[in-house]
Chains A and B, each alone.
Chain A
Amino acid sequence: MEEMHGLKDIKRNEFFMSGHGACPGCGVAIAIKNVMRILGPDATVYVPASCAVVFSAQYPTSSFRTPYFFTAFENTGAVTTGIRAAYRRRGKKSLVVGIAGDGGTFDIGLQALSSALDRNEDIVYVCVDNEAFMNTGIQRSSSTPFGAWTTTSPVGSKVQGKRTFKKDLMKIVEAHDPPYAATLSIAHFNDFVRKVDKAKRMSGFRFLHILTPCVPGWKYESAMSMEIAKLAVETGMWTLFEYEEGESRTTYKPKQMLPVTEYLKLQGRFRHMGDDDIKTLQRWLCDKWYRNYGHEIEEPVCAIFKQEEMQLHHDKDDLHVF
């Protein structure tokens, strides 16, 4: 089978059919449809409790043309382990794929994920990350970004939105030193194709983390999913990289960092955010930006904060010069 390098290499052979019940513009549906196109007919899919489990297969119909299995919420790492073991015993050549949401991965499913990583199970684990428990109606998860409104991080008179930052799941995954882990964006498609194709060709635990904008949860116009996914990368809210053989490598570097407000202003979940909260988020983003892309890029957005930091922290002690 030829290696895939980008959009043009994808076969329009659908294994996740249209006619499913996802919202128009759903990032999860776009991600799954394209992951399945790239993985091809030999995949066996496990989906835990999530939006995908509701919109993809309701008795007696299914949008999956591959074998499909569901049982519960917190066990993607474990059920895929079981299927993999059975296939190994039966000599079945198949990709065993788990497709879980951020709640099912960052939170309730973290234990089973860690254990499967620890055993280096031969599975492809896809986390479709829409940054909240969207299936149950937009409750905060540990993936929800700072400041975001959800039904369990509401905008009150005393507390507005989520007060903690998005959990760095990839760091946790990397700590297990898997053969392959990558972050993907549905708006950076050549990068997306290359990473899914790479995961498909490898063995051992492969982790694909995809940011999947959510129309009702993020509160934006459904035609804007790709635009928002792009802006996530350009503002540093999402970074594209891959982890392989113990090394992390950036796969796409934005030309310049856009202020986070460019990303926030399109989404209702951030509409309430005041200047202080935006600054807090931007400061966190700048730190992340430098970590991901290196200090040699002195972008204006972050430079402002660097100056502020110096004024704030310089205590006139010569030993404490930055």
Chain B
Amino acid sequence: MVVKVISGDHAVAWGARLARVEVVPAFPITPQTLIVEQIAEFVNNGEMDADFIPVESEHSVMSVAVGASAGGVRTFTATASQGLALMHEMLYAAPQIRLPVVMANANRSLGAAAGIWLEHNDSMPERESGWLQCYVENNQEALDMTLQAFRLAEDHRVMLPVMICLDGFVLSHTVERVDIPDQAAVDGFLPKYVPVNVLDPDDPIVMNPICPPEYATEMRYQLDRAIDSAKIAIKEIDIDFSKRFGRSYGDLLDLYRMDGAEYAIVAIGTAATTSRLVVDRLRAEGKKAGLIRIRFMRPFPKGELIEAVSGLKALGVFDRSVSFNSYGPVFTEVRNALYGSVLPVTDHIAGLGGRDLTPEILSKVFQVVEDSMEKTPERDVYWHDLRGDM
């Protein structure tokens, strides 16, 4: 084990290197670029034995990835924002053909009112694509989850692609202390990829023929169930990982000071880090606040969430994205999961387009949630930190 001070992007690149990925199609996009640059350096320095394939667009990145994975080798790539959107069509190929591609997405805002900064509006819409989706909180988790993601994706009970989401700039470009595991230890944790179905002239199969209506519903049902059953593998893999490397990330959820909590918020990614600070302050004041970090948006931890909120008097959801004229996507999922419960749940939107998310803003979020224990909240959705009268 070596300790290095590296960015989140470089941590992901180290994860790909230690996972002994064999094919890496690549296209640059901010704030993902450091990942593919680092991998290109690893490959050109002979430190990583992989085919690094620079292509002309993210659509082709995912096309190469799908081709390589169908050809039977471990495949990795990375993207962000507009790039993920350009891949959208090809994202749907990997899950439905059951190809265990792993991809990092450095979260960034998308579309007009353009910017290159943090927002979850790029990856949230891709919850519908069939990819498993994990949101990490720090650079160590970014590396460790890259390794775990391959174990998960290639588990024969799962066989699904995994998207690792890390907050753009906040993690992608910020350096932190990261333990880099030994290659031998990683090899023990992550054996060579053994495909279930593979293109091979010695044993020809047809992969992804046109699917007529009489079979289509069943195909989609099987994918739906496979995503659900990934929950078991996620638990097992994290336990095995913690035994080998001494680091555990909880499960689909990561609970912080939830013992005896009366109110809590749900957060994903680095918003959870700032929330921990606020929870600590509130606890010091004698208030019973807690934090639920959702690690996986797919599979969505419905049962785990119901269990985690039992005993709470109020819940808030923090969203770093918005489904326009509706709610934040995390809120929608959380409240759906809690359908039938009388627990007041409010949505809190802030930190969009890279706007700083300060402890003060999150303190206000917690204040609204605390108030909602006593009296009915004014509205479902609170936009925090708006400038001027809106």
Contact = CB atoms under 8 A, between A and B. Distances in A.
Given A82-B23, A89-B23, A75 B68 contact: no
Interface in A49-103: 53-54, 57-62, 64-72, 74-75, 77-90, 92, 94
A89 B63 contact: no
Given A67-B205, A85-B68, A112 B63 contact: yes
A60 B215 contact: yes
A71 B208 contact: yes
B60 interface: yes
Interface string B32-60: 00000000000000000001011111011
Given A42-B201, A79-B63, A81-B55, A86 B71 contact: yes
B206 A64 contact: yes
Interface string A197-212: 0000000000000000
B79 to A, nearest CB: 14
B200 A92 contact: yes
A92 B203 CA distance: 12
A115 interface: yes
Contacts of A67: 199-201, 204-207
A224 B72 CA distance: 44
Interface in A83-142: 83-90, 92, 94, 111-112, 114-115, 118-119
B212 interface: yes
Interface size class of A (residues with CB under 8 A): 35 or more
B60 A86 contact: no
A309 B31 CA distance: 58
A82 B71 contact: yes
Nearest to B94: A71
Contacts of B13: none
Contacts of B22: 85-86, 89
Interface string B90-118: 10010001000000000000000000000
A14 to B, nearest CB: 13
A66 B207 CA distance: 11
Interface in A22-44: 41-44
A37 B23 CA distance: 31
Interface residues of B, number: 41
A82 B68 contact: yes
Contact of B60 (A78, A84, A90): A78
B25 interface: yes
A85 B71 contact: yes
A79 B67 contact: yes
A308 B327 CA distance: 71
Main secondary structure of the interface of B (DSSP, over half): mixed
The listed residue with most A CB atoms (<10 A of its CB), out of B57, B210, B212, is B210
Contacts of A218: none
Given A90-B72, A92-B201, A94-B201, A57 B209 contact: yes
Nearest to B216: A59
A71 B71 contact: no
A111 B56 contact: yes
Contacts of A146: none
A83 B69 CA distance: 8
B209 A112 contact: no
A176 to B, nearest CB: 13
Contacts of A57: 206, 209-210
A75 B63 contact: yes
Given A83-B68, A86-B70, A87-B71, A70 B63 contact: no
B252 to A, nearest CB: 30
A62 B60 contact: no
B56 A86 contact: no
A83 B63 contact: no
B64 interface: yes
B68 A86 contact: yes
A180 interface: no
A46 interface: yes
A28 to B, nearest CB: 16
Given A79-B64, A85-B71, A115 B55 contact: yes
Contact of A71 (B25, B54, B63, B68): B63
A77 to B, nearest CB: 7
A72 B199 contact: no
The listed residue with most B CB atoms (<10 A of its CB), out of A78, A84, A92, is A78
8 contacts: A72-B93, A78-B25, A82-B67, A85-B51, A85-B68, A85-B73, A88-B51, A112-B57
Given A61-B209, A112-B59, A112-B60, 18 more contacts: A43-B201, A58-B210, A60-B215, A66-B201, A67-B207, A68-B205, A68-B207, A69-B207, A70-B207, A78-B25, A78-B63, A78-B67, A79-B66, A80-B67, A82-B25, A86-B70, A90-B72, A92-B200
Which 10 A-B residue pairs are closest in the complex by CB-CB distance?
Answer: A86-B71, A82-B67, A78-B63, A75-B63, A78-B60, A57-B209, A115-B56, A82-B68, A79-B67, A82-B64
Interface of B: 22-23, 25, 51, 53-57, 59-61, 63-73, 75, 89-90, 93, 97, 199-201, 204-212, 215
